[in-house]
Amino acid sequence: MQGTWILSSFTVNHKIDQRYQYLISIVLVCLVSAICFLFSTYIGAQVVAFILLLTLSLIAMSFDILPVLLTALLSALIWDFFFLGPRYNFRVGNTEDKILLSMYFVIALVNAVLTFKIRQIEKIARRKEEKAQTLRLYNTLLNSLSHEFRTPLATIIGATDNLLETPSRLTPHDSKRLLSEISAASLRLNRQVENLLNMSRLESGFIQPKKDWHDMNELAFSIIHQLEEQLAQHRVEVDIREDIPLVKLDYGLMEQVLYNLIYNAALYTPERALIRISARCPHQSLVIVVEDDGPGFPEAEVGRAFDKFYRFTHPPAGNTRIGGSGLGLSIVKGFVEAHNGTVELMNRLTGGARFVISLPVENFSKLTGS
Amino acid sequence: MPILVIDDEAPIRKLLEITLQSNGYTVVQAATAKEGLQKAVSHSPDLIILDLGLPDENGHATLKKVREWYDRPVIILSVQHSETDIITALDNGANDYLVKPFRTGELLARIRSALRSAVGDDNEPVIRLNGLEIDLSSRIVKKDNELLRLTATQYSLLALFGKNAGKVLTHQYLLREIWGESYTDQLQYLRVFIAQLRKKIEKDINYPEHIITESGVGYRFVAGES
């Protein structure tokens, strides 16, 4: 991800402002002409013409069409004025030189236009390749997601069919159970839509954290509150000092990060498992730990957990839930990295998974204001 | 008096109709901004639920038009969940903002809260809300009949919340009202004072019942149960 960002910013920077293109072209032509002029006793006007054409070709390779045409005109005038006899005026002596000058001008123009055209074609080819790559990525994404979307949809369609077509045969208890299945499935669908939107934000490379002052306690408890239903069967422990300094971060992004980690912990650990969230503020940084005492990650897969589309290939014993879109943890990583932070996964010695997030952040002590 | 629902999606209108009617409200529906504005005039509703993605006009523009003369609560119900959209809507005079998909329980609570605060009399010098009593004339605040000691800033903040109970107040609005125009980007001060205030008026500061955080947007002072 980081790589593509750097690459895209490089190509953006690579395109030089057109005003500078004009400036560079003019300076370069004048410079080359000046050097040729110094040696004009040794080299003839024809050689100078070739050197100027070469300069023009170099300029045409990376600049826009207008600066290149200007260069062509300018170099023709310079050549005529300073080098083509009679020198120091625009008059052209004999017929041979007239032919030479007009040929110089035509060659310069053809040179400029052809190089420009080649570059246009290259640009189109590159864009096509980029498009193909995006398409491949989206195909993988769609395959991986169709399962995640179809499962809850199947639940919703099946349950509503039951409720609509055979209401008389269902006990009130059964109806209620079907309805809560529909509710759970729709929430799961909503979750996937959220993940997809986040993923496309990451893919676009336009994630700009909007940082502002936030209270870690508020962040943690608001997520626990949002996940009340999922966490009902778990023991949740929050270990964050009440006077932890305010930290400057993008609330929306960090909310997604912690939501995904706590949601995963709730989903992949058995009932009564402990989920512990802690945060500390060592010097100008923030360390958040989300850990559980569930089955943890298979040791061989710890390294790949943050890969896009990763899911357990060998689910640990006792874990009945496979699936997931494989996006949750890659979003965690992307959003943490957008804060210039790191996220690490390890298995705890006593069992269970531990995620450690470290962010460089500005601190503001709550005790300073009163 | 009815609740006016302005939303172009028929399933959403149907859902709202069933939900609201079964809770004792009457419902008037509109599918476009134009129809909505007409019905807002002809039915003079108690409350308007407005979608932002209308076919004939941007909902933000509709909200501005409604606010030119309509002074009762407007709740925005939209799929747009970006902070900018929410803040724009609140700045244009929306009382509350709910993102689709929404839980009907949540919507009903917001409607009740908005309607209750709308009934409140502006000249009433004492605001009474679930155990809290804010006397605006003598600047005395009581919690469960016990006097609360507040600093001047804490009091101003609480009084501002009390006067706007049920309404989402953006960070910028709160900072401007309490500290002044030049402080609108100094969110850290607001956070500190909110934390202090919560410590004094909330039962459990980690699960606040009075001052609710609207993440990335602002705070809402809850009127009544929620």
Q: Is-contact A327 A199, C-beta < 8 A? A: yes
Query: Considering B119, B146, B180, which residue would you say is the last residue of a domain?
Result: B119
pLDDT of residue A13: 41
Same domain? For B145 and B93 the reply is no
Q: Would an 8 Å CB–CB cutoff place A208 in contact with chain B?
A: no
Closest CA to B216 of A193, A279, A204, A219: A219
For residue B120, pLDDT over 60 is answered with no
In this complex, do B215 and A255 lie within 8 Å of one another by their Cβ atoms? yes
- Provide, as residue numbers in chain A, all residues whose Cβ is less than 8 Å from the Cβ of B217: none
**A-B contacts (CB, under 8 Å):** 43
Q: CA-CA distance, A296 to A302, in Å (whole number)?
A: 9
Per-residue pLDDT 10s for chain A (370 aa) are 343 333 333 344 456 777 888 888 889 989 999 999 888 888 888 888 888 888 888 888 878 888 888 888 888 888 888 887 778 878 777 888 888 888 888 888 888 888 888 888 988 999 998 888 777 767 766 766 777 788 789 889 988 988 888 778 888 888 888 898 898 888 888 888 888 888 888 878 777 888 889 999 989 998 998 888 889 999 999 999 988 999 999 888 899 899 999 999 998 899 999 999 999 998 889 999 999 998 888 888 888 888 776 666 655 555 555 556 678 898 899 899 999 999 999 999 888 999 999 999 888 887 654 4
Contact A246 B188 (CB under 8 A): yes
CATH number of the domain at B140, please. 1.10.10.10
Please report the pLDDT score of residue B140 as a whole number. Answer: 87
Distance from the Cα of B187 to chain A's closest Cα (Å) equals 6
Residue B145 falls inside a structural domain = yes
In chain A, where does the domain assigned CATH 3.30.565.10 lie?
A: 212-364
Give the pLDDT score at B143.
87
Q: Which residue has the higher pLDDT, A136 or B96?
A: B96
Residue A222 at interface with chain B, using a CB cutoff of 8 Å: yes
Residues 65-104 of A with CB under 8 A from B: none
Q: What percent of chain B has pLDDT over 90?
A: 52
From the list B193, B207, B216, which residue is nearest A251 (CB)?
A: B216
Chain A partners within 8 Å of B101 (Cβ): 186, 190
Please indicate, yes or no, if residue B110 is contained in any of the structural domains.
yes
Q: Select from B119, B142, B157 the last residue of a domain.
A: B119
Q: Are residues B211 and B142 in the same domain?
A: yes
The shortest CB-CB distance from A252 to any of B191, B205, B216 is to B216
Bin B180: left if φ > 0, else alpha if -120 < ψ < 50, else beta: left
Report the residue from B101, B192, B215 with minimal CB separation from A366.
Answer: B192
Closest-CA residue of chain A to B211: A218
Residues B7 and B112 in one domain: yes
- At the top level of CATH, the class of A143-204 is mainly alpha
Which residues in chain B touch residue A225, judged by CB atoms under 8 angstroms apart? 207
pLDDT the model gives residue A313 = 61
For the purposes of burial, counting CB atoms within 10 Å of the CB of A283, is it exposed (0-12), middle (13-18) or buried (19 or more)? exposed
Residue B186 is predicted with a pLDDT of: 87
Contact criterion met (CB < 8 Å) for B196 and A370: yes
Q: What is the pLDDT of residues B4-25, one digit of tens each?
A: 999 998 889 999 999 999 999 9
Q: State whether B139 and B195 are in the same domain.
A: yes
Q: What digits encode the pLDDT tens for the residues B190-209? A: 999 999 999 998 888 888 88
Identify whether residues B24 and B109 lie together within a single domain.
Answer: yes
Would you say residue B71 lies in a domain?
yes
Contacts within 8 Å (CB) and 24+ apart, A181-188: A181/A155, A182/A155, A182/A156, A184/A152, A184/A155, A185/A151, A185/A152, A185/A153, A185/A155, A185/A156, A185/A159, A186/A152, A186/A156, A186/B101, A188/A151, A188/A152
pLDDT of residue A316: 54
Distance CA A299, CA A313 (A): 12
Q: How far apart are alpha carbons B26 and B40 in whole angstroms? A: 14
Res A12: pLDDT: 40
Confidence (pLDDT) at A312: 65
Quote the number of domains for chain B.
Answer: 2
The rounded distance, in Å, linking the Cα atoms of B48 and B36 is: 9
Give the count of beta carbons closer than 10 Å to the beta carbon of residue A271: 8
Q: Are A190 and B83 a contacting pair at CB < 8 A?
A: no
Kindly report the CATH number assigned to the domain that includes residue B45: 3.40.50.2300
Q: What is the pLDDT of residue B31?
A: 94
DSSP letter string, A206-223: ------EEE-HHHHHHHH
Question: Is the minimum CB–CB distance between B11 and chain A shorter than 8 Å?
Answer: no
Confidence of residue B30 (pLDDT cuts 50, 70, 90): very high
If asked whether residues B35 and B130 sit together in one domain, one would say no
- The reply to whether B199 and B141 lie within a common domain is yes
Q: Are residues B98 and B189 in the same domain?
A: no
C-alpha count within 13 angstroms, C-beta hemisphere, residue B73: 27
Distance from the Cα of A64 to chain B's closest Cα (Å) equals 38
What whole-number distance in Å separates Cα of residue B87 and Cα of residue A210? Answer: 14
- Order of strands across the sheet that contains B168-170: B168-170, B218-221, B211-214
**Among chain B residues, CA nearest to A238:** B206
Mean pLDDT of chain B: 88
The answer to whether B215 contacts chain A (CB < 8 Å) is yes
Question: Any residues with CB less than 8 A from the CB of A79 and at least 6 apart, and which?
Answer: A33, A45, A48, A49, A52, A101, A104
- Tokens coding A108: 């310069």
Q: Quick check: B119 pLDDT over 70?
A: no
Three-state DSSP at A40 gives: coil
Which of the listed residues B85, B119, B153 is the one where a domain comes to its end? B119
E strand or H helix at A289:
strand A285-292
Smallest Cα distance from A214 to chain B, Å: 7
- Residue A97, C-beta contacts closer than 8 angstroms, at least 6 positions apart: A84, A85
Residues from chain A contacting residue B207 (CB–CB below 8 Å): 221, 225
Distance (Å, whole) CA A87 – CA A95: 15
| Same domain? B51 vs B13 | yes
Closest of A60, A90, A70 to residue A78, by C-alpha: A90
Instruction: Report H helices in A166-236.
Output: 172-204, 216-226
The token duo for A352 is 């269970």
Confirm if A213 and A365 have CB atoms less than 8 A apart: no
Please indicate whether, in this complex, the C-beta atoms of A225 and B196 are within 8 angstroms of each other. Answer: no
Residue B32 lies in a domain: yes
Cis peptide before B55 (omega within 30 of 0): no
Judge contact between B68 and B41, C-beta under 8 A: no
Q: Are B22 and B99 within one domain?
A: yes
Neighbours of B102 (CB within 10 A): 14
**Span(s) in chain A for CATH 1.10.287.130:** 143-204
Q: Tell me what pLDDT residue B122 has.
A: 58
A37 touches chain B (CB under 8 A): no
CA A34, A37, A39 angle in degrees (round to 5)? 120
Expressed as residue numbers, the domain containing B55 is: 3-119
Residues of B in contact with A218 (CB under 8 A): 213
**B191 contacts A210? CB cut-off 8 A:** no
Selected residue with higher pLDDT from A167 and B120: A167
In a domain, B65, yes or no: yes
CATH number for A212-364 (one of 2.170.190.11, 3.30.565.10, 3.10.180.10, 3.40.50.620): it is 3.30.565.10
B151 in A contact zone (CB under 8 Å): yes
Task: State the angle between helix axes of B171-178 and B187-201 in degrees (0 to 180), rounded to the nearest 10.
Answer: 90
